[in-house]
Amino acid sequence: MKKAVLLILSFVLAFTLAACSGGSNTDVTGGVKIEKVSDMEGTVRVALAGWQLENGIDALTGNPVIGLNEYLDKTFKIMYPNIKLEVYQIPWENVKAKQSAMLLSGDADVLYTGGAFASQWYQDGLLRDLDDLIANDSSFDPGIYLEGIMNNSYSTKSPDGTKQFGIPAVLGRRMTIYDKKLFEDWGVEPLSAKPGPDEILEKAKKMTGKNPKTGEDNYGLFWSGNSLNGSTFVALTLAYGAKGAEGTLKDVKSIKWHLNSPEMVKVLEWLKEAAKLPPAGFVNAQGAENFGLEKNNIAIALDSTGGSTMSEYRSKQNKELLDRFEPVMNMGPDGEGWVAVDPFVMAKNAKDVEASWEVLKFLSGHMTQKYRYENFSSTPTLKNADFVTPEDKYVKKALEIAEVGHSELMDEANPFYMSDIAPAINGFISQAASGNAPDIQKFLDDLQSRAEKWSANLK
């Protein structure tokens, strides 16, 4: 008996050591034969926000995932055997502070980070323009990336849109998703392919209350009431043509604010009405934990991802849920909304620019995006993301929204938007949800006055 137990323990130990040591037999290249590309020499320090380096298990699906280290061993290190990589993994929780410090101290050459951070670092002079590298590299095709985020995003372009400082690597998902089952229960027509805010509000009101078939409490609508970037608010400003400001982030002192315009009043009137429909916890981004799953009780979710539904499909092949939760375009006139983009960027004083460019190019390219999608469900930024599975309609819809995306001054790259507008709007939503919404015109007049004073005080 003891011998049998020892044998079992030995097997488990051997299996565990094999797993911990990496070295899976997984094909991470999709059948592409990897060969040496260049004898280029150099050392590149890479700071990655949130990327997993070691092999492990996906927390949602329970499926094994291949860490970056094994991926690089089987790809980049064969292609560029004389480029030494020093890779630093940084948790998202404190990535801005740590990567800012690395840039200031000159301890990083290539970084993967949040789009808002990249935009701020560029304006602070900490990042390098990539235009000369792109122009001199015939192997790099900027046309493979979604045009809306390659050429029109503050996360990749300079504030005046003339310089390229980032290459989009991962796309955030912000789409409207509705529960077809609840629509059928209530006898409400499905959402159109590009539902605007009026259609969403009208149908959401019809599905708030006791479900006529199940008798359960239903909520017509959900969005995150404390979003740091106010993504739902951004989509509404696009839908109602409420620009909020005119000018450029290159010259923020000269921005002309229009925060108390009639169009902006419509945005807040919509938020005031809509705030009556979600679960009470929405002001703290709570209450939609079951959206996308069997026990869901919310008809329409704004700025949603489809992540829960796809995880269920991947782990249990639950096609019923996949058929039930349907994505449509965002609320802008062409179906656009706020598009989150996480780019790769290069430090202003990168030690070895040529080697750093090869690394940056590889980590934001097609092969790496395929690896990231297959292992971590990262949303690609490519026009031809041919590796996305046919069932993943959520990624496909996110790509459609990104393709028509564009940046306006109501954006997290705008410092007054982040410091004052987004928190003020979240405060308004919270008050509206409790039935104490302030006078809209007075609220906006005050915001306009604060914005004008902010600009006037800039040097």
Domain 175-338+414-457 in the same topology as domain 42-172+339-404:
yes
Q: What is the 3-state secondary structure (H, E, C) of the chain?
A: CHHHHHHHHHHHHHHHHHHHCCCCCCCCCCCCCCCCCCCCCEEEEEEEECCCCCCEECCCCCCEECCHHHHHHHCHHHHCCCEEEEEEEECHHHHHHHHHHHHHHCCCCEEECCHHHHHHHHHCCCECCCHHHHHCCCCCCHHHECHHHHHCCCCCECCCCCCECEEEEEECCCEEEEEHHHHHHHCCCCCCCCCCHHHHHHHHHHCCEECCCCCCEEEEEECCCCCCCCHHHHHHHHHCCCCCEECCHHHHHHCEECCCCHHHHHHHHHHHHHCCCCCHHHHHCCCCCCCCCCCCCEEEEEEECCHHHHHHHHHHCCHHHHHHEEEECCCCCCCCCCCCEEEEEEECCCCCHHHHHHHHHHHCCHHHHHHHHHHHCCECCECCCCCCCCCCHHHHHHHHHHHCCCCCCCCCCCHHHHHHHHHHHHHHHHHHHCCCCCCHHHHHHHHHHHHHHHHHCCC
- Give the mean pLDDT of the chain: 91
Q: What is the pLDDT of residue 61?
A: 62
* C-alpha radius of gyration, the chain, whole number: 24
Q: What is the pLDDT of residue 204?
A: 98
Q: What is the pLDDT of residue 23?
A: 65
Q: What is the pLDDT of residue 9?
A: 41
Q: Is the pLDDT of residue 6 over 50?
A: no
- As a whole-number percent, the residues of the chain with pLDDT over 90 amount to 76
pLDDT tens digits for range 439-456: 999 999 999 999 999 999
Q: What is the pLDDT of residue 1?
A: 40
**Mean pLDDT computed over 309-324:** 89
* Distance between first and last Cα of the chain: 80
Q: What is the pLDDT of residue 329?
A: 98
pLDDT tens digits for range 188-201: 999 999 999 999 99
- Residue 229's pLDDT band, with cuts at 50, 70 and 90, is confident
Q: What is the pLDDT of residue 314?
A: 81
pLDDT tens digits for range 87-114: 999 998 889 899 999 999 999 999 999 9
Q: Is the pLDDT of residue 20 over 90?
A: no
The candidate with the shortest Cα–Cα distance to 156, out of 339, 419, 366, is 339
**Mean pLDDT computed over 373-382:** 90
pLDDT tens digits for range 403-446: 888 878 998 888 899 899 999 999 999 999 999 999 999 999 99
- Residue 59's pLDDT band, with cuts at 50, 70 and 90, is low
- Specify the higher pLDDT residue, 362 or 311: 362
**Mean pLDDT computed over 31-42:** 93
Q: Is the pLDDT of residue 269 over 50?
A: yes
> Domain 42-172+339-404 classified CATH 3.40.190.10?
yes
| Tokens 């315009």, residue located | 261
The model's pTM: 0.80
Q: Is the pLDDT of residue 146 over 60?
A: yes
Q: Rounded to whole angstroms, what are the CA distances from 404 to 146, 339, 399?
A: 9, 10, 9
Choose from 163-167, 317-321, 336-340 the range with maximum mean pLDDT.
Answer: 163-167
Q: What is the pLDDT of residue 434?
A: 96
- Residue 252's pLDDT band, with cuts at 50, 70 and 90, is confident
pLDDT tens digits for range 147-168: 878 988 889 999 888 999 999 9
Q: What is the pLDDT of residue 86?
A: 98
Q: Is the pLDDT of residue 270 over 90?
A: yes
Q: Is the pLDDT of residue 11 over 60?
A: no
Burial class (CB in 10 A: 0-12, 13-18, 19+), 293: middle
Homologous superfamily in CATH for domain 175-338+414-457: Periplasmic binding protein-like II (3.40.190.10)
Q: Rounded to whole angstroms, what are the CA distances from 129 to 199, 279, 364?
A: 43, 45, 16
Which neighbouring-strand residues pair with 175? 304
Q: Is the pLDDT of residue 21 over 60?
A: no
- As a whole-number percent, the residues of the chain with pLDDT over 70 amount to 94
The first and second tokens of residue 80, run together, are 């560029």
- Residue 57's pLDDT band, with cuts at 50, 70 and 90, is confident
Q: Is the pLDDT of residue 169 over 90?
A: yes
Angle at Cα 385 formed by Cα 382 and Cα 389, nearest 5°?
Answer: 150
Q: Is the pLDDT of residue 17 over 90?
A: no
pLDDT tens digits for range 118-137: 998 998 999 999 999 999 99
Whole-number Å distance between alpha carbons of 247 and 318: 49
| Domain ranges across the chain | 42-172+339-404, 175-338+414-457
Q: Are 159 and 249 in contact (CB under 8 A)?
A: yes
